[in-house]
Amino acid sequence: MTVEVGVIMGSTSDEPTMIHAIQVLEELQIPYEKRIVSAHRTPDYMFDYAATARERGLKVIIAGAGGAAHLPGMVAAKTTLPVIGVPVQSKALSGWDSLLSIVQMPKGVPVATVAIGTAGAENAGLLAAQMLSVFSEELAHKLDARREAKKNEVLSHQEADV
């Protein structure tokens, strides 16, 4: 099956966060690849990864990074595929640094930035799935079913009316 989503992250230390995006993709049976790519540490690989992503068949890239989180923006600079940026929670500044590095892109080069940390990573997986669902009724149905299940889970925790 052709890989549709590239899940990339600046370091192996981002894995505990980015696993939450991956779990959504696995749950929805979306083919993905996971790579450690860094604008700072492996700039040439990052450049090549982004520049060839579309021709390799990828449809969306989820990029997570922490601290001086330049990876999502730099990848977005080298591809016109949608890039979803996940600010990984940093120790020193609780992820504010990551968030601001990712979200404040100059006009013309968008990155769809989600919330800091694991909730953001999960939403990144869902957002990628929702983008792909535009072209897949099957995936749209899976997403509807997931929403319904989550809704029922919330409602099941309500106390019975007296």
Ligand X SMILES: Nc1c(C(=O)O)ncn1[C@@H]1O[C@H](COP(=O)(O)O)[C@@H](O)[C@H]1O
- Per CB under 6 A, residues contacting ligand X are 9-11, 13-14, 38-41, 65-71, 88
Query: Is 161 a known ligand-binding residue?
Result: no
Between 10 and 120, name the residue whose CB sits nearer to ligand X: 10
Known binding residue 94? Answer is no
Shortest distance in whole angstroms from residue 152 CB to ligand X: 36
Nearer to ligand X, 67 or 117 (CB): 67
Residue at token pair 């925790």: 157
The response to whether 11 counts as a known ligand-binding position is yes
Beta carbon of residue 19, minimum distance to ligand X (angstroms, whole number): 14
Give the Cα separation of 85 and 60 in Å (integer).
11
Burial class of 108 by CB neighbour count within 10 A (0 to 12, 13 to 18, 19+): exposed
Tally of CB atoms within 10 A around 11: 17
Using N-to-C axis directions, what is the helix angle for 137-156 and 118-133, rounded to 10°? Answer: 140
Nearer to ligand X, 58 or 88 (CB): 88
- Which is closer to ligand X, CB of 71 or CB of 139? 71
Name the binding residues for substrate: 11, 14, 41
